[in-house]
A and B are shown apart, each in its own frame.
Chain A
Amino acid sequence: MTSYRTQRLSLRFFLLMLVLLLVQVVLGVVLSLQHADPTLLSGTMNFNVTRSQHVNLGVLWILSGFIGTILFVGPLLSKRELAAPWLIKFLFVALVAVTVWNAIAIFFAQKGIAGWWLGQPWIQEGLEYLEAGRAADIIILIGFAILAYVVLRTFPKRSEWNEIHWGLAIGVTALTVMWVFGMFFIGRIDLQEYFRWFVVHYWVEGVWEVIHISLIGILLVLMFKADVKAVGYAVFWGVTLVWLSGLLGNAHHYFWVGTPEFWQFWGSLFSALEPVPLILCFWHMYLDAHHDRKPIENKPAFYFLLGSAVLEMVGAGILGFTMTFALTNVWSHGTWVTPSHAHLSMFGTFGMLGLGAAYFIVPKLRKATDFDQRFGRLAFWLVFLGMLGIGFAFAIGGTIQVFTYRTLGLDWFGGDLYPAMGTYKVLLVLFGIVFLAGVALLVFDLMTLGHRVQAPAPQAADHTPPTSGWARPLRGFEAGTWLLGMWVFGFIITFGLLSYNLPRVQGGDPTIPYLAAAVGYPGLLLTTLLFVWRFLASLEARERASSVTMQRRTALAGD
């Protein structure tokens, strides 16, 4: 599978991804501490600087993971070496340079220096997610163009393309095109927000999603020898449904930014459909993992891919659904309720894909395919648990914030809101530290994998495969029941957000929304946790089962 020399170029992008990830998560913990104590580092690294670094590094390491994966699968899809490897080496240097430059430039916000020249902010521009100044924007645009060029030049003739080729080709091209919409200073807030969401929404819900679906598709083909035609079918319909719902679904960002009321109709309707392709992707994951009963060779890689598909459905699909209607969004908008969705979907969908791909690819490139998988599995559980906890802290803290800030109209953050949300601000720090521990472990593991002395892989326990209990084989009906359970809790959360419209709640009684949140969020997140545990337990049992069968066969052969 690593028969092409230029595939090795992907390794450096994965290492960069790991370094940026670690820094980003450390900054995330600093942010949560600053939320708990806003005087922390005030004047040295103000909250807005920490946050911009956290957000930008999040985008950059996810992109590094995408690039690494694309460079690995590109030659496999094309059956030839990557075109212009020197351009890829240049891309790497440019990516490192622009990352460092941007990290420095963000600090200029503390002095109010944007670097205005020709009407554009060249150093930093202080817009959420688009904090990079124009100088960095241009370098990034060139980088995307290089990536698109290399991918398109490497791919075979168009007549030989399957759906995965199409997905990746459209993905890398649109990545470049969409970026341009964030490169202009606009005086009007409504128009600026309109185009800012072109970049942010169409990137994550259009372009990244297409790349995500295509990469999940090719990785499933590689890991499970899944049928290319069946995967291609899923990729086409996945991508098409993402666009059918997401194109007008972008309207959910145009409810309150000064754009007309009619967007509330279109946004509520179409973005409510956005979970459909995510459920499809999730279901395909289940089918592919179960289409043969063979044990999974590379568990950490599969753990993270499963985490990606599940958190995509829970974080992007269900939590996104709860706040996508104008009548619920009017309350959740601009509060801590939204980062619960953002963290689960961003890290879950795209971050876990990059990490899964790294666990799949790095051992192959380092020729260490029989690596000790225990670190990777433990790291998965730590980051998965940590991220569910972060989502919980944001969601419940946000529920209190909506009531205190919007319903009671108390707007003194230091006096009224911080005390009300205090418990959840502390919880955020605690779960952040769990998450950080998992990230530190997986960064260490992936960095040194193949270089450190390998502990012998543990022997599988010798017992008969379970036919009942927690590790029994997972069937479609049961998986469907879990899925339904998650959605039931999702509807409870949605109802909770809707209930802020009730006269009773607006009169100052928070019982209904608080109760719905107290049942809905923990219910959803615990169901998710238990489901992944159950799914993986049934897969682990396969390995034991097959190793027991092997031993029996050997014993029989001995007779």
Chain B
Amino acid sequence: MAADVDRVEYGRRRTALLVLALMIMVFIVLSAFSFVGSRDQITPDTVTYAGAFGAVDGKRVFQAYNCMGCHTIVGNGAYLGPDLTNTFESAGPAWIAAFLPSAGTWPTEAALRVQLQSQNQTAETGITDLAAYYEAYPGAKERIERRGGLPTFMPNLGFRAGEVNEVIAFLKYTSLMDTEGWPPTPKVDGLEFPQAAKAINVVATDGSTTAGATADPAVGLTLADQYGCFACHAKTEARLVGPGWGGLFGSDQPLEGGGSATTDEAFLAESITHPDAAVAAGYPAGVMPAYAGILTEDEVNAIVAYIRSLEKP
């Protein structure tokens, strides 16, 4: 009797294991079909930003900063910040470049206009005009209008030269991926709902209000806020992406490639308008955008006056 029960049980178990083996076969076949070339899924080795920055390098940067520890990508990761899969397609490269390395505030329109001048941006999108950019990337318009100048919670990460552009390449790749319709597209305009935060943009976005005021440190501070200078420069002596402004004025600054310069008004103004003319030792060239043609002479002078106000006593 017991032997009979055992034999029946043995047969059942053998059947179960056979079914399991069949399942493994199914899984292997499905897996193989998932990654065949004919699927036309985009791969990162074929994606670059501005033809110069690779998406695979961007993925390395993305992992090195553990971006997945706060954000999700294709929905996986942590839930402190938004999903990044479609950020590129929504806000575009200039907005991302203006936002990273985040240092306290969301980019203003002024900061976005600076990034529109960047060679990489123009090479990628062919857009130099703000209106055209907003049309191509409506997410940027919404972000600038609702959040520009307001505080963000993302900590300053002090990216190294090239890393921001590589991250942009990676986000371009994830935007191009076919994720089977995820995340779902909203059917309504969320901004019309009470859940949407009120647009309380505290910073003027056209910059014209300051015209005529010369060399006023208070105006300089406002301008520096608008143009997102503090994304890369601390108000103290601390180094972020660029040198801190605290105690910078009137110091003796060694230059890349030998020699040194005194950081007086003329030198600082030149560093803002043509930053690569003389680069401070220890900092890579080509990181800071040139503000010639973006800032008026008066505005440059006001910012320099603000830097001077941070001089060591």
A residues sitting closer than 8 Å to B (CB atoms) are 34-35, 38-39, 42-43, 46-49, 51-52, 106, 109-114, 116, 121, 124-128, 131, 185, 187-191, 193-194, 233, 236-237, 240, 243-244, 247-248, 250-251, 254-264, 266, 330-331, 333-336, 339, 401, 404-416, 419-420, 503, 506-508
Contacts and interface: CB of A to CB of B under 8 A. Distances in A.
Contact of A244 (B20, B45, B82, B155): B20
Given A244-B16, A409-B186, A508-B188, A263 B30 contact: yes
B288 interface: no
Contact of A334 (B13, B19, B183, B188): B183
Contacts of A262: 30, 33
Contact of B68 (A126, A236, A339, A503): A126
B259 to A, nearest CB: 30
Contact of B179 (A128, A258, A415): A258
B43 A256 contact: no
Given A408-B193, A410-B195, A43 B155 contact: yes
B4 to A, nearest CB: 15
A262 to B, nearest CB: 7
B34 interface: yes
A258 B41 contact: yes
A508 B190 CA distance: 8
A42 B153 contact: yes
A420 B155 CA distance: 22
A188 B181 CA distance: 19
A424 to B, nearest CB: 12
Contacts of B34: 190, 194, 254, 259-260, 263
B48 to A, nearest CB: 13
B265 interface: no
Interface residues of B, number: 81
B79 A339 contact: yes
Interface string B164-191: 0000000001100111111111111111
Contacts of A47: 69-70, 78, 80
B80 A256 contact: no
Nearest to A326: B180
Residue of B159, B182, B187 most packed against chain A (CB within 10 A) = B182
A189 B70 contact: no
B300 to A, nearest CB: 30
Contact of B63 (A125, A260, A409): A125
B186 A38 contact: no
Contact of A257 (B30, B74, B152): B74
Contacts of B26: 248, 266
Contacts of B60: 114, 116, 121, 185
Contacts of B174: 189
A364 B277 CA distance: 76
B295 interface: no
B63 A114 contact: yes
Given A42-B155, A52-B66, A256 B190 contact: no
B153 A38 contact: yes
Given A187-B45, A188-B44, 8 more contacts: A124-B66, A189-B73, A258-B74, A334-B76, A407-B188, A408-B195, A409-B189, A415-B146
Contacts of B185: 409
Given A112-B64, A189-B74, A263-B34, A413 B80 contact: yes
Contacts of B128: none
19 contacts: A112-B163, A124-B66, A127-B63, A128-B69, A189-B73, A190-B34, A193-B76, A244-B16, A244-B19, A244-B20, A251-B30, A256-B179, A258-B178, A260-B39, A407-B190, A409-B186, A409-B188, A410-B196, A413-B153
B187 A506 contact: yes
Interface string B252-296: 000000000000000000000000000000000000000000000
A331 to B, nearest CB: 7
Contacts of B74: 189, 193, 256-258
B217 interface: no
Contacts of A38: 80, 153
Given A112-B65, A244-B19, A189 B59 contact: yes
Nearest to A401: B79
B136 interface: no
B119 interface: no
B67 interface: yes
Given A126-B68, A244-B16, A247-B23, A46 B56 contact: no
Interface in B142-170: 143, 146-147, 150-153, 155-160, 163
Contacts of B68: 48, 126-128
B195 A416 contact: yes
- In the A-B complex, list the 9 residue pairs whose CB atoms are closest, starting with the nearest: A48-B69, A409-B186, A408-B190, A415-B197, A334-B75, A256-B182, A109-B66, A126-B66, A38-B153
A336 to B, nearest CB: 6
B253 to A, nearest CB: 25
B268 to A, nearest CB: 27
Given A112-B61, A334-B83, A189 B177 contact: yes
Contacts of B186: 406-409, 506
A413 B183 contact: no
Contacts of A42: 153, 155
Nearest to B177: A258
Interface in B1-30: 9, 13, 16-17, 19-20, 23-24, 26-27, 30
Contact of A51 (B20, B69, B152): B69
B62 interface: yes
Nearest to A116: B60
A134 B77 CA distance: 20
B80 A34 contact: yes
Given A244-B23, A248-B26, A330 B69 contact: no
Contacts of B208: none
A111 B61 CA distance: 11
B195 A404 contact: yes
Interface string B185-215: 1111111010111000000000000000000
- B31, B150, B177, B186: residue with the most chain A Cβ atoms closer than 10 Å: B186
Nearest to B191: A410
A113 B64 contact: yes
A113 B35 CA distance: 31
Contact of B77 (A116, A128, A260): A128
Contacts of B64: 109, 112-114, 116, 121, 126
B72 interface: yes
Contact of B75 (A43, A106, A110, A256): A256
A420 B100 CA distance: 26
Nearest to A415: B197
Nearest to B157: A112
A334 B31 contact: no
B287 to A, nearest CB: 15
A247 B177 contact: no
B81 interface: yes
Given A189-B73, A404-B195, A126 B63 contact: yes
